[in-house]
Amino acid sequence: MRVAIFGGTFDPIHSAHLVVAREVAQQFALDQVLFVPNAVPPHKAGRTPFRHRLRMAQLACAGQPAFAVSDIEQANEKSYSILTLERLLPSGDEWFFLIGADAFAEITLWHRWQDVVAFVTFIVVSRPGSAYAVPPGARVLPLETLELDVSSTRIRAELARGEMPVELPPAVAEYIRAERLYGF
């Protein structure tokens, strides 16, 4: 299978994540996009508990055969992509790493980034205001046709003001309401 790992905080998952995953799956003939919520993001402190972010990702991906959600990073002490890759790669699948331009711009800050770029081909999706350079050794398939102005940061701010953002999938909005997340 051709599989793309889609790592992220997903705090919460939103429509741009889903549009990006769908478009990339189609453009690059992927069999599956595997959403991998980070357990303890090294660069993002004080986030929503893993179980909520995992559940919201599962709700957003339900009923979409090309999407799957992994809880593989739950067990990791730190969310280092290389540790996840080393567990997934032996499966015999062909692995890609789906990532937004903002996140890829920081790739050389990742733990053992040279090993990461040696293992996978990146599919880098453009994002408003984000430029990136391709570091030595990295293989990049760019997707420049999307320019989606959506972020979890803005969604959290709207929820904290009592607004329910349209960029949330209905089942995720319902979950946030029921669990009273983000101060909504």
Looking at 5-13, 24-32, 161-169, 173-181, which segment touches ligand ATP (CB under 6 A)? 5-13
- Please state whether beta strands 121-125 and 32-37 pair in parallel, antiparallel, or not at all (unpaired): unpaired
Measure the CA–CA gap between 59 and 174, rounded to whole angstroms. 10
Q: How far is the CB of 167 from ligand ATP (least distance, A)?
A: 9
Q: Which of 149, 61, 55 is nearest to 100 (CA)?
A: 149
| 172 lies in the binding site for ligand ATP (CB under 6 A) | no
Contact between 169 and ligand ATP by CB under 6 A: the answer reads no
Place of tokens 């946030």: 176
Distance CA 175, CA 4 (A): 26
Residue 100 in contact with ligand ATP, rule: CB under 6 A = yes
Q: Examine residue 124 and tell whether it contacts ligand ATP (CB under 6 A).
A: no
Applying CB under 6 A, what is the total number of residues that bind ligand ATP? Answer: 18
Would you call the peptide bond into 12 cis, given omega within 30 degrees of 0 as the criterion?
Answer: yes
Among 23, 71, 102, 158, binds ligand ATP (CB under 6 A): 102
Q: Please state, in angstroms and rounded to a whole number, the distance separating the CA atoms of residues 7 and 71.
A: 11
For the bound state, the minimum distance from the C-beta of residue 92 to ligand ATP, rounded and expressed in Å, comes to 25
> Could you tell me the two tokens for 13?
């998952």
- Residues at the site binding ligand ATP, with contacts judged by CB under 6 A: 8-11, 16-17, 20, 99-100, 102-103, 125, 127, 148, 150-153
